[in-house]
Structure 1
Amino acid sequence: MTTSITTSELKPDATTGSLAVARLFDGEHWHSNVQLSWQQGQITAITPAAGPVQAGSLVPGFIDLQVNGGGGALFNNQPTLAALNTMAQAHRRFGTSAMLPTVITDSLAVMQQAADVIAAALANKLAGVIGIHFEGPHLALPKKGVHPAAHIRPLTAAELAIYQRTDIGIKLITVAPENVTPAQIKQLIAAGMQVWLGHSNADAATVQDALAAGACGFTHLYNAMSPLGSREPGMVGVALTDAHSWCGLILDGLHLHPIAAKLALAAKPKGKVLLVTDAMSPVGTNDTEFAFFSGTVRRQGNQLTNEDGALAGSVLDMASAVRYAVQVLDVELHEALCMASLYPAQALGCGDYRGKLQPGYQADMVLLDQQLHCQQNWIAGNRVY
């Protein structure tokens, strides 16, 4: 029988410490009544607990590849260090330990400001910010979603100069392969970018050419991409049948029908489907509307729509996405946790030090209660929530 102890008795708020818990998922296996120890932000050992343990399940911190906003701040509207801090704090409450703040299709000036802010965040070691996701502007108008048409444009040297920066951490870009050539995809990869495909009306052959050039993932699978058809498989068909690429899913019950989500999980190899939020500024707030370029996005329940009624991101958080996977899609808990931590880490190329609670890994960890709600959150051994 386990014995609960109070938070005040723990010593988690330092880069060196230990924590005894009733259950721990290390990214591969479950452990009972163990103590996790860390030094200088890195996990050093998992040993049997010698005394009282904290109730709940300690799991790897969640990693979100697509975060537009949170806490009332939208990155495009406020490309500032203060806004990034607000976003990071909002998502920590829901178990996110690492994120790619996402700037959607916008002017060159906003893109440059966003890159400058990410560089400053990394230089100042803002906990949880590990890079940037440029979702656009090199997208396809027929599948633009709520991205502003006025800023959708071809890739030029001006944008490439931003993408070539070496001070902005992990760099991911979403492009439409009908508007970005295989040669340009190779150029982006040479600049250190991860190239994902989305907001595209491309045919299957064009998508396959982009994958052959080095594109490695699909942004919010099914949404804003050419659908699977009997004679033209589209982007969705290629994504579902390609064994090597990753696919992000927005599991908010609005972007995807559960059957579509289950199809992706059945079709893709294990480890190639991961959770993303596509979160907008209302996450963690009671805000019911926010300014979005020249218009307004309104919230009704958990649905965000613009004036035309189109979905405009989500108010999803990572813990809620995990719960949806388990409760609605019947995904095993350990697999849902991997979809929120290990698989995103592997997709981003940091799976050798993030996404697991094992010696040598960064002490990014979340304590979940029985209902899978985040109780506490640590980044590099420092408790941030």
Structure 2
Amino acid sequence: MSVTYIADHIFDGETLRQDVPVTVSDGRIVAFEGCAGAEEIRLHGMLAPGFVDVQVNGGGGYLFNNAPDLETLKVMGAAHAAFGTTGFMPTLVTDDIAVMQQAADAVAVALAQNLPGVLGIHFEGPHLAGARKGIHPENHIRELSEQELIVYARNDLGDKMITLAPETVAPDVIAVLVGLGVKVCLGHSNADYETTQAALAAGATGFTHLFNAMSRLNSRDPGMVGAALLDPDSWCGIILDGHHVHAGTARLAHHAKPKGKMMLVTDAMSLIGTQEESFPFFGELIFRDGDRLANGDGVLAGSHLDMTTAVRNAVTYLGIEYEEALRMASLYPAEFLGQDQTRGRLTVGGAADFILMKDDRTIQGTWIGGKKVFKKI
């Protein structure tokens, strides 16, 4: 059955339009006009592409590491859909090989069942630098072995991402990963500028949470931050929660990178969509203080950030128009994943993944594959 949605405004990922019908059939956008026999639904607000988040550790009270199964993915997807996310990369932080295999199996099942929102899997670690580990468990940080490579080589995981420290993984190994269809991101690293450049030359295309847990920009050593800002082809994820990166620093980075190469990520943990104030993480508790997450020592532990808030913060911190902030949450991460022909924009033939926003920029409804998965009561 076809449905034609007529909203007050439509932002298609490029331009803002008024009173343009959007007809959906079989999970795809089939026309920007009404179609004979289609049910018509009037929507008050603005339709826009759904958000794509490439770093989601948890939501709805579930953390992927703590329960790497299909139920966790369902709950995570529903929690983030309430904030406009229609596609996400479940993210597993550094853990043992058995947990990595379980997480991969869960994602494979989710994709086989067309679970709404799941695009693939992001392994954040375990091949990191201990000096920049953040809250990643040091006892699980290790060199890349054949066991992990078998997981990374799987062809049933959708989009595959790995965050690694290039001083622990040689350029020829990075090239192997890229050859396996893996998006290699650099982070949790103390690598110098030259080592980072070598990783980029080997095929790395992204940087995980720019500035955080990476070697800093200095006058005599540009570090990983300098390499990230100077490279015109790579994408930088950034956490705009007011805790991970100062607004001035974020604005400077936004000016340095070419347009379209900085994308919003949440790095969200399990508490999104709940009123809970703590959760277990590798034998310790992570506490929420307002919208800041930290362990007992005060070390930042992911974020309590949703994509709707990240978009609003981008406007405030970066001094950009709202439409550009929307692109940073939808089109640009879709381009990073190579999915921009079907996601991150509203286009004929593309996925019917979109959100409805009121004038106050709150999410009123979320559709994935043409099916409403969230409606504000």
Q: When the two structures are superposed, what TM-score results if normalisation uses the length of structure 1?
A: 0.94
2:18 maps to 32
CA offsets, 1:13-38, max 9 Å, x none? x7x31210001001111101121111
The Cα offsets for residues 176-204 of structure 1, whole Å up to 9 and x where unpaired, read as 00000001101111111110000000000
Deviations 1:23-69 (A, max 9, x none): 100111110112111111111112389x9842211000000000000
Do the aligned residues in 1 keep the contact of 2:4 with 2:41 (CA within 8 Å)? no
> Does residue 325 of structure 1 match 2:314?
yes
Q: Assess, with a 3 A threshold, how the Cα gap between structure 1 residues 48 and 260 changes in structure 2: closer, same or farther.
A: farther
TM-aligned CA deviation for residue 328 of structure 1 = 3.3
Read off the aligned partner of 1:233 and give its amino acid letter: P
CA-atom RMSD, angstroms? 1.3
> Is it true that 1:337 corresponds to 2:334 in the alignment?
no
Amino acid corresponding to residue 19 of structure 1 in structure 2: Y
2:297 is aligned to 308
Q: Corresponding residue for 1:158? A: 147
Taking the aligned partners of 1:348 and 1:372, their CA distance within structure 2 comes to 26
Quote the Cα distance in structure 2 between the aligned partners of 1:132 and 1:247. Answer: 18
1:135-150 equivalences in 2 (<5 Å): 135-150=124-139
- Measured in 2, the distance between the counterparts of 1:56 and 1:321 equals 20
Q: Which residue of 2 aligns with 1:80?
A: 69
Residue 237 of structure 2 corresponds to which residue in structure 1?
248
- The yes-or-no answer on 1:168 pairing with 2:157 is yes
Task: Give the distance between the partners of 2:41 and 2:20, measured in 1 at CA.
Answer: 10
Q: Is the 8 A contact 1:34 1:48 kept in 2?
A: no
Provide structure 1 residue ranges, at least 5 long, that are not aligned to the other structure. Answer: 1-13
Q: Partner amino acid for 2:260? A: G
Q: Is the 8 A contact 2:248 2:317 kept in 1?
A: no
Are residue 42 (structure 1) and residue 24 (structure 2) matched? Answer: no
Query: Which consecutive aligned stretches of 4+ in structure 1 deviate over 4 angstroms post-superposition?
Result: none
CA contact (8 A) 1:33 1:53 kept: no
1:86-97 counterparts in 2 under 5 A?
86-97=75-86
- Conservation of the 8 A alpha-carbon contact between 2:127 and 2:165: yes
1:237 aligns with 2:237: no
Q: Give the Å deviation of 1:124.
A: 1.1
Q: Percent identity?
A: 54
Q: 1:119, 1:126 → 2: CA distance?
A: 10
Distance in 2 of aligned mates of 1:128 and 1:221: 25
2:185 to 178, 189, 196: 196
Q: Name the SS of the counterpart of 2:32 in structure 1.
A: strand
1:181 is matched with: 170
Distance 2:270 2:97 in 1: 22
What's the CA shift for 1:107?
Answer: 0.5
In 2: Cα distance, 1:190 partner to 1:239 partner: 22
Does 2:283 align with 1:263?
Answer: no
> How many Å separate the matches in 1 of 2:130 and 2:157?
28
Whole-Å Cα distance in 2 between the matches of residues 246 and 384 of structure 1? 29
Cα distance in 1, alignment partners of residues 244 and 362 from structure 2: 22
Q: Distance in 2 between matches of 1:362 and 1:48?
A: 18
